[in-house]
Structure 1
Amino acid sequence: MMKYILLFLLLVTSGFVSFSQSPSTEYGDIDIQDYQFHITVNDDNNIIEAQAHIGVLFKSDLISFRLDLENTDETKKGMIVTKITENGKPVSFKHENNVLEIYDNSAIGNKKTYSINYHGTPKDGLVISKNKYGDRTFFGDNWPNRAHQWLPTVDHPSDKAFVEWHVTAPSHYQVVGNGSQIEETDLDNKNTLYVWKTEVPIPTKVMVIGIAKFAVQHIGETHNVPISSWVYPQNKSEGFYDYALAKSVINFFIENVGPYPYTKLANVQSKTRFGGMENASNIFYFENSVSGKRKIENLIAHEIAHQWFGNSASESDWPHVWLSEGFATYFTNLYVEKTKGEEAFKKLVNEHRKQIIDFSKTQMTPVLDFETESLMRLLNTNSYQKGGWILHMLRKKVGDDLFWKSIRKYYETYALKNASSQDLKLIFEAVTSQELDTFFSQWLEKPGHPILKTSWESDKKSITFNIEQTQAGHATFSFPIELKVIYTDDSSEITTVMVQDKKLSQRIKVKSEVKNIVIDPNSWLLFEED
C-alpha cells in the first residue's frame, strides 16, 4: 500500500522484544484453510445478505474457537449472525465485542466446514459510496484488519487461506475479485452472479471485491500473466492509458524477483482510502489516480511490488510491516534505477533520507515497534522510507550480486508464506556468509540514525579525518562511510572509513594536496549532518 495521497502521516512508539516474536491471538489453535463468501448487494440500501463457508483445520483439541466479525452498535451498523451450521447441523455461537465464538468439540487434525448466515450494513471494510461521477460503488478495503467489518475471518496476516467469491449484484454492475473469474450468470434480468476464485492462499488484508460500473480493457499477457485495467467509463481513455504502464512494470519484478504469484493482474480505479491498495491480483488505486498523463508510474510499481512482498511473502505479524512497505518502497526505487537511471534513483534515495530525518524530529521510534496498538499508526516513515533505506544499506554491505541472490532466495523460501525480520536476516546470512546481527539490530531495533560531526586536516601526504556521533542517548552505530577525496587538480578518489565508536580520528594517505572531502558521495549511509 502506498500513502501516495494520504492527508495524514501516522506515528508509532517504541519497543523491540525479539525478531521472531510470534503474533498473540485468541482464535484458538486453528488454521483457516478456505473461505467461500456469498455476498448479495442491492441499490435500495447498504445492507448485505451473506453466507460464509469456512474450512477450519484444528491444530489441537478444542471445545470452541473464535473468528473476528463486527457486531452491531448504536448506529445499527455491523453484522448480525442468524445461524451457523456444520455438516447441516446447527452449532451454538456467541457474537459480542466483535468476536464470533463458535462452540463445537473438535479434535486435533480435524477439518470442518462451518456455514455462517449473516447480514448487516458494514461500518467499514466494504466501502459503499458514490464515486466522483456520482455512481454507486462497493469496494473492499480491508487493510490492516478491517476485513472483519463485513467478513467472518481470522483477520491477521499470519493465517492465509484460499478464497472464493460468489457475488450477486444488480446487472448494471461488474464485479472484480481476487484470482480468476470462473462464472458470470444472469439470474433474473435484474441481477448477475459473478464468481471469482484464488488458486493460492492469501491474507485477509488483501482479500477483496470491487463492484461498480467499469470499463474494462484486457491489455494482453506478459510471462503468461493476463493484465487488465478496470476504470470508470467516464474516464475510460485516460484510465486505459495510465494503467497500461502495469505491463512493463510487472516484467521488472518477474525478471528480478521471481514468478508472479497469482493468475492475473487487474488494476482498478476505486474508492480506496489509500493512494493504492495492493489487494492480491486485484490492485485498487484512488479514483483521482486517473489523469491521462501517466503521473502514477511509481505508485503502480509500489503496488505491483507488493504482490511479491506483503501479499505472497507476508509479514508474520504487524510490527514486521516494513517487510511489506519498506520492500515496496525500495523496489520502486530499484525499478526507477532500471528504467530512468542512477540519477533519478539517487534523487529518490536522498528525498527519502530527508523524510526519515524530518520524521525523527517528531517521533523517535524504532522500525520494529511492538508497542503501538493502533495498526494504522504503523503506516509511517519508519515502515516505508526507513525500511527501504535499510534494504539500500544492506545492498551496499553485501554487494549487488549477493543482494539480488538473497532477495530471490528470501522470496523463493517465503512465497505464499509468512516471514519475520529474523527470517530475512537468516536468509541473507546464509547466502552471503556474513554475520548480520549488528546490522539488523541497530537499524531495526534502535530508534534514530547517526548524527555526524566531521572535520579534516591535511598535508600533502595524508589527511586526518575526524568523526563524532552526536545523536542523543547512548546509541552508537557501527557503519562504513565513504569519503570522496577531491584534489586541487580536480581529480578524485573514494576511500572508506569504518566507524564503530562515538569518536574516531583516522589518518588516510593521499596522492597530493586535497581541496575538499565529500561525505557519502553516493548516498549509501542513512545519517544526518550535525
Structure 2
Amino acid sequence: MTGRTHHGAAAEQGSGRRLSAQPAGVGASSSTDTYLPEHGNGGYRTEHYDVELDYRLGTGRLAGRARITAVATQPLTRFTLDLGPFRINRVLIDGRAAARFTHRGHKLNIWPTRPIAAGAEFMVEVRYVGTPVPIPSHWGELGWEQLTDGALVAAQPIGAPSWLPCNDHPTDKASYRITVTAPSAYRVVANGRLVSSRVGASTTTWLYESSEPMASYLATVQIGRYELGEVIDGSVPIRAAVPPALVSSFGHDFGRQAQMMAVFERCFGPYPFAEYAVVVVDEELEIPVEAQGLSIFGANHIDGVRGAENLVAHELAHQWFGNSLTVADWRHIWLNEGLANYAEWLWSEASGSESAEAHAARAWRKVAALPQDLVLADPGVARMFDDRVYLRGALAMHALRRTLGDTVFFAFLADWTTTHRHGTVTTAQFTALAERHAGRTLGELFTPWLHAPALPQLPTPGAR
C-alpha cells in the first residue's frame, strides 16, 4: 500500500510461480490476474534480477541497467516486460542485441534474433534512463517518488515498473541484487542484506542482495539522510534507517520490535527472512509502506508515546502474510491485509493491552455500521484496500480462532506459513488447510465470512 494515499471468479491458481499457458510462439503481454491482467506477462518466469541504478537527486534522473534471468515456459518469438516511460538505450538477449524492441505505454516488447525454446533459460538486459514517474492507479500514484530530500519506492500493487523493467505480477517471484549509486551525503536502503558500500569521489555505491524469492511490487529503494542502526536482541537482527533528529524518539516508539518479533514467531512460525529493517522518511506518510524484509514509515508515525505501534505490528506481520506468502491473484488480498490486521490484535493482547476479543467486538460494530456490499474473498479491484477488507478479514480470523480453539488455530497458522513459505497462496488453499486442522468441513463458517456480503455474527467460542 502506498504511503501518500490510503488503500483504505476465475479458477483458483496453485502455489507455484508459473503463469497460465499463453498461445505458442508469443509471450503474452498480460497476466492471468482477475483484477489487474494488464500487469504481468506470460510465456516465461523470472529467476533473478540484477539491477544497477545511478540516481541524481537534484534532477531526479535515474540511469539503470537491469539484467533479468528468466526461463521460457513456451516457445518465444516475442516477450514483454513492464516498464514506465524511460528512454530505452539498449536491449540485449544473452549478450546479443535484440532483433527489435518497442516501448508503448508501460509495455516493453522484445523480439529475440532467434526464437527461445520452451524450457530454455535466457538473460535479457535493458539499459534505460529518465526521470521516474509514479504510476497512476485506483489507489493514488504508486512507485518511485522523489521526496523533498531523498526518494522512496511504494509499489504495492502495480508501482514496480516506475523504476525497473519487470514481470509485474505477484506470482512471479525471483531473487534480487540491487546496486544504487547516490550522493555520499545520503544513505540507501534496499531489500535484503547489505553486501557493500563503496565510497567514490562524491558518491557512494550500495549493494544489497536478497536470495529469497520476491514479487516485483515488494522490491524497494529508499534514499535519505539517515542514521543507520541495528538492534540484535533476539533471533532476528533488526536494522533501522532514521533521520538523526528522530533517533531518540524512534528508540522508544519502535523499541518493542524484538518482543513483537518473538510473539509473532510463536504465533506464525519462524520469521521467513534473514533480517528485518525499518526506514523512517523525513516526511509525513498517510500510512506505512510494505516491502519485503523492510517497512517504511513517515516521521508522523513517531510521536514519543507509541501511538503508531499497531502499524508497527501490522507491517512486521506482512513479512509472513504478503511477503513470504504472496497472493496468487489480487482478489485474495484479504490473506495479506486481514491477517496483518489480526496480528495487530494479537500483539495488543500479548503486550498487556486490549484483548483480541475486545478488538473484535469493536471492529464488528464498526463493520456492521458500514454498507454490506463487499465480498471478502472477491472485493473487486477498486476496493482491494477498502477498510472492510482489513477489518472483516481480521474478524474472519477471529471467527476461525473461536471455532478451532487456540491450540488448533495457532498450529494451523504455523502450518500455513511453513507449507507455503516463499510461495503464492489462494483463499481455497487457506480454507482447505484450515479444514484439515479442524478435521471437518468448515463451509458453515467460511461461506458467510468469505463469500457473502452480509456480515455474520461471530461464532460462540468452541462452536461446532
Q: Is the structural similarity TM-score above 0.5?
A: yes
- Residues 449-464 of structure 1 mapped to structure 2, 5 A cutoff: 449-450=455-456
- Per-residue displacement from partner, 1:84-133 (whole Å, max 9, x unpaired)? 01222101211102111111221111111111000111111111111xxx
- Structure 2 residue 231 is the aligned partner of structure 1 residue 219: yes
Q: Tell me the equivalent position of 1:69.
A: 83
* Alignment equivalent of 1:209, drawn from 193, 202, 221: 221
> Percent of pairs identical after alignment?
25
* Alignment equivalent of 1:435, drawn from 431, 441, 448: 441
Q: How far apart, CA to CA, are the structure 2 residues paired with 1:263 and 1:324?
A: 21
Of 54-63 and 21-30, deviating more is: 21-30
Q: Tell me the equivalent position of 2:163.
A: 150
Q: Tell me the equivalent position of 2:308.
A: 296
Q: Tell me the equivalent position of 1:32.
A: 46
Q: Tell me the equivalent position of 1:464.
A: none
Q: Tell me the equivalent position of 1:391.
A: 397
- Structure 2 residue 63 is the aligned partner of structure 1 residue 45: no
- Per-residue displacement from partner, 1:244-302 (whole Å, max 9, x unpaired)? 22111111112221111112111110258551122111210122112222222211111
> Contact (CA 8 Å) 1:28, 1:64: kept in 2 or not?
no
Q: How far apart, CA to CA, are the structure 2 residues paired with 1:177 and 1:307?
A: 15
Q: Tell me the equivalent position of 1:366.
A: 375
Q: Work out which of the two has the higher radius of gyration on C-alpha atoms and give 1 or 2.
A: 1
Distance 1:355 1:17, change over 3 A: farther
> Contact (CA 8 Å) 2:50, 2:177: kept in 1 or not?
yes
Distance 1:142 1:272, change over 3 A: farther
Q: How far apart, CA to CA, are the structure 1 residues paired with 2:392 and 2:304?
A: 32
Q: Tell me the equivalent position of 1:126.
A: 144
- Residues 109-188 of structure 1 mapped to structure 2, 5 A cutoff: 109-124=119-134, 125-130=143-148, 136-187=149-200
SS of the residue corresponding to residue 199 of structure 1 reads strand
SS of the residue corresponding to residue 234 of structure 1 reads helix
Q: How far apart, CA to CA, are the structure 2 residues paired with 1:337 and 1:239?
A: 23
- Structure 2 residue 111 is the aligned partner of structure 1 residue 103: yes
- Residues 443-522 of structure 1 mapped to structure 2, 5 A cutoff: 443-450=449-456, 480-481=459-460
SS of the residue corresponding to residue 396 of structure 1 reads helix
> Contact (CA 8 Å) 2:190, 2:220: kept in 1 or not?
yes
* Alignment equivalent of 1:347, drawn from 319, 336, 358: 358
Q: How far apart, CA to CA, are the structure 1 residues paired with 2:48 and 2:232?
A: 30
The residue type paired with residue 420 of structure 1 is: T
- Per-residue displacement from partner, 1:310-335 (whole Å, max 9, x unpaired)? 10011111110000000000121112
Q: How far apart, CA to CA, are the structure 1 residues paired with 2:393 and 2:300?
A: 27
- Any stretches of 5+ residues in structure 2 without a counterpart? 15-31, 135-142
Q: How far apart, CA to CA, are the structure 2 residues paired with 1:384 and 1:196?
A: 32
Per the TM alignment, residue 366 of structure 1 is displaced from its structure 2 partner at its CA by 0.6
- Any stretches of 5+ residues in structure 1 without a counterpart? 11-15, 72-78, 131-135, 452-478, 483-494, 499-530
- Per-residue displacement from partner, 1:403-440 (whole Å, max 9, x unpaired)? 11111111111110000000001111122211023422
Q: How far apart, CA to CA, are the structure 1 residues paired with 2:127 and 2:408?
A: 52
Q: How far apart, CA to CA, are the structure 2 residues paired with 1:176 and 1:7?
A: 22
SS of the residue corresponding to residue 395 of structure 1 reads helix
- Residues 381-420 of structure 1 mapped to structure 2, 5 A cutoff: 381-420=387-426
> Contact (CA 8 Å) 1:272, 1:284: kept in 2 or not?
no
Q: Tell me the equivalent position of 1:521.
A: none
Flag the structure with higher strand content: 1
The residue type paired with residue 348 of structure 1 is: H
> Contact (CA 8 Å) 1:17, 1:370: kept in 2 or not?
no
